[in-house]
Structures are given as structure tokens and as C-alpha cells.
């Protein structure tokens, strides 16, 4: 049960202070009697104001606790950021090791370029170029696993735009390595064109109608193209579309390039 409200406590306290001041103007005997009468009320107000004081102290400590929590949160975010950066570095080191294992360094001059973004609505990624290295438009871009990614179409400072093979303006000459009982046969190589459709999609076109296409056949870059050297992986044939009235047959392609699983790419520069 509450004895006094907050406003009541303030009013009583003012009243008591006024009474004490007035008592100083009257005789000692009267002051003693009034002190005895007012002391119970003073005690009640003091205890009540002590509760208000405790409340104010509680607010002060709550403010300190909030500041400490914010500091701990910031430190935790910094640790998370450092952990992410370490994982990115580990991934890039793994990419470099894959390149060395594949012997690509012996065949080509390669520059590691981390992926830093993707343009919304376009099959175009942004990569960060190595400091102090000159890279030109038209440079071929691959992965450590010898997968063709695309080509550089714009350079701005240390950031370059890479147009992926799946971009709807990109066409890539490919060779089709048909399957055989022993695996991929080099004796059954056809040619065609891999065309980008956007949204990561590719389809195979300009394959003569009388040629036999097989699902899961491997597509690699052809030396007929002007961007990639031959034999870099592109994808596998999925659904074949053949019309007897059309001179060419088509097929959908399952790309070997997975943007979600790739942290960095390699730029193929002249030796």
C-alpha cells in the first residue's frame, strides 16, 4: 500500500522544510514540541524519498549496463568480421593451390581477383583487381578448376566488370565432347555456340541437325573463339531440342560455373 504519491511527498517535504525554518524563529521550548510532532512525518518522507533515490541510482546503473552491452556487441561484431575475413583468405589460398595443382601457372599468366559484388538484374559480377597490375577489357576470366567464367568489359580503377557466359549478350564458341563407353571421347567432337540467356542460363545452338547430341556431353571452349583458349570447361548438355524442319538443333546447358560457391576468379593476362 502506497502512503504518499510522488507529488504528495514533494509537497510534504516543502511543508516540513518551511516548518523547520519557521521553528528557528520561535522559542526553544516550542521548537522541541514541534520537532517531536513532525519527526514521524519526516521519517516517512525520508523513507519515501529514499525509494526515489534508489530508483534514480537504478536508472544510472541501467545506463551503464546498456553502454557495456553496446560495447560488447561492437567487439563481437568486430570478431565476426575478422573471422569472415580469415575465411575469405583461406578460400583464396585454396584457389591458388588449385591453380598450382592444375599447372595453370605454367601455361598462363594469372591474376587472382576476389569477387566483390554482382549487378542486380544482370549476369555481371564485379571483381577487385590486384594493385599495380594493368588489366584490359576483353581479358578472359576463369576459375581455379579451369572453368570459363566470362570476360572483362569495363575497368574503373581497381574494380572491373565481368560479363558472365550466361549474359544475354554473350556468345561463346564451344566444342562438344560426346560420351563413349570409355568416358569422354576425343574422336567425337562437334562444334556449336553457347548463348547466354540471362539469370545464369545457357543454351547450345548452331549444331547441325544431322549430328547426334547426347545428354551429359561435356562442352569446352573452342580455339575458334577470340576470348578463351581451347579446352576450358563450360558445362554439360541437358535437354535436347530437335526440330526436323530447322537446320540446327539446340540444347539447354548446365553451367559448371557456380557463382554462389566462388569467392575469387583468375584473370588470364599475356605472358
pLDDT digits over 48-57, tens only? Answer: 555 555 555 5
pLDDT in tens, 202-215: 999 999 999 999 99
pLDDT at 46: 46
Say yes or no to pLDDT of 147 above 50: yes
Say yes or no to pLDDT of 252 above 80: yes
| End residue of a domain, out of 40, 61, 82 | 61
Q: How is residue 260 annotated by DSSP?
A: G
Percentage of the chain lying above the pLDDT 90 cut: 46
Cell readout for 26 is: 520561535
Is the Cβ–Cβ distance between 152 and 129 less than 8 Å? no
Helix/strand/coil for 3:
coil
Strand partners, 164: 150
pLDDT at 178: 77
pLDDT at 88: 59
Position 153 in a domain: no
**pLDDT-derived band of residue 254, with 50, 70 and 90 as boundaries?**
very high
Position 48 in a domain: yes
CATH code, domain with 211: 2.40.10.350
Position 42 in a domain: yes
Helix/strand/coil for 249:
strand
Sorted by sequence, the CB contacts under 8 Å of residue 231 that are 6+ apart come out as 146, 175, 220, 221
pLDDT at 108: 75
pLDDT in tens, 4-56: 555 565 566 566 556 655 555 555 555 455 545 555 554 554 445 555 555 55
pLDDT at 182: 45
Computed over every residue of the chain, the mean pLDDT equals: 78
Domain count, the chain: 2
Q: Is the pTM of this model over 0.75?
A: no
Strand partners, 267: 111, 141
Position 190 in a domain: yes
Sorted by sequence, the CB contacts under 8 Å of residue 253 that are 6+ apart come out as 194, 202, 203, 204, 219, 234, 235, 236, 237, 238
Is the Cβ–Cβ distance between 215 and 255 less than 8 Å? no
Strand partners, 198: 201
**Domain of residue 223, residue span:** 171-258
| End residue of a domain, out of 21, 39, 61 | 61
Amino acid at each position: 500500500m502506497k502512503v504518499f504519491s510522488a507529488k504528495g511527498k514533494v509537497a510534504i517535504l516543502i511543508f516540513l522544510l518551511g516548518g523547520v525554518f519557521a521553528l528557528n524563529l520561535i522559542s526553544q521550548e516550542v521548537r522541541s514540541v514541534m520537532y517531536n510532532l513532525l519527526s514521524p512525518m519526516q521519517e516517512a518522507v525520508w523513507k519515501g524519498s529514499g525509494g526515489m533515490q534508489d530508483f534514480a541510482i537504478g536508472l544510472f546503473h541501467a545506463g551503464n549496463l546498456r553502454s557495456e552491452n553496446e560495447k560488447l556487441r561492437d567487439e563481437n561484431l568486430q570478431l565476426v568480421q575478422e573471422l569472415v575475413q580469415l575465411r575469405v583468405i583461406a578460400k583464396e589460398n585454396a584457389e591458388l593451390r588449385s591453380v598450382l595443382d592444375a599447372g595453370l601457372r605454367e601455361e598462363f599468366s594469372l591474376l587472382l581477383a576476389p569477387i566483390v559484388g554482382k549487378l542486380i538484374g544482370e549476369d555481371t559480377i564485379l571483381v577487385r583487381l590486384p594493385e599495380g597490375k594493368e588489366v584490359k577489357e576483353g581479358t578472359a576470366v576463369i576459375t581455379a578448376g579451369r572453368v570459363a567464367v566470362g570476360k572483362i568489359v569495363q575497368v574503373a580503377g581497381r574494380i572491373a566488370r565481368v560479363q558472365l557466359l550466361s549474359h544475354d549478350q554473350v556468345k561463346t564458341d564451344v566444342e562438344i565432347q560426346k560420351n563413349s563407353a570409355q568416358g569422354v571421347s576425343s574422336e567425337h567432337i562437334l562444334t556449336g555456340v553457347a548463348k547466354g540467356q540471362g539469370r545464369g542460363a545457357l543454351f547450345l545452338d548452331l549444331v547441325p541437325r544431322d549430328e547426334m547430341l547426347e545428354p551429359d556431353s561435356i562442352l569446352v571452349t573452342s580455339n575458334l573463339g577470340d576470348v578463351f583458349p581451347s579446352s576450358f570447361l563450360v558445362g554439360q548438355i541437358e535437354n535436347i531440342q530437335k526440330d526436323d524442319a530447322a537446320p540446327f538443333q539446340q540444347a539447354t546447358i548446365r553451367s559448371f560455373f557456380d557463382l554462389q560457391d566462388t569467392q575469387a576468379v583468375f584473370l588470364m593476362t599475356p605472358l
